[in-house]
Amino acid sequence: MRPWRLESNVKTVVGSCLAVALGLVTGACESAASAEVPACEGWRPGDVVITEVLADPDGTDTGQEWLEVYNPGRTEVDLAGLMLYAARAPGAEEHAYVFASSVPVAARDFVVLGDTRAEPPEPPVDHAYGDALGALPNTGGVVGLRCGDVVVDEVRYAKARAGARASWMAAARRMPSTTTPRSAGVTRP
């Protein structure tokens, strides 16, 4: 278990137990400790890959940042239980979002995840993570998907150019491009 996870659980359990001790909530210690156990199981590195990140859209970042995830497999996968995380550097100032509900990704298809606040999310975003990740760092950072201790995929990007997305190909090359994800039908230059 990573330190960030343990600290998060400790704070949650301590806070919940304190509330119980004060008589504000009953049974919170048991449910808080078990509520954060990953629902994902059996994921391996590369089962899905992050293919594009837009960390610095033109104008305001709020509600406009997104990332694209690709399923290279032959069967549909579901992101439920996986953790999406972002940080300035690996492990530093990490913010995370756990997929609590079903987010299917068809075989050899894409899903676009965004900080959209609208429900349902507006295209090209397929699933909104709201403000859980905070603003993606414009000066460079890391985004990834994790199942417990298994890093399914993680990408690092350099200083984002306003309005340009960073794309990764199989050779892990970074390619700036337009602000529309490929899943919306736009090809790379």
Residue 113's nearest CA partner among 174, 46, 53 is 53
Instruction: Indicate the pLDDT class of residue 74, thresholds 50, 70 and 90.
Output: very high
Both tokens of 184, joined, read 């919306």
pLDDT number for residue 166: 67
Mean pLDDT of 154-173: 65
Lowest model confidence (mean pLDDT) among 20-24, 39-43, 59-63, 166-170? 20-24
Distances in Å between the Cα of 83 and the Cα atoms of 21, 94, 139, 143, 147 are 31, 12, 23, 11, 6
Averaged pLDDT of the chain: 73
Q: What is the Cα gyration radius of the chain?
A: 18
- What SS3 state is found at 29? helix
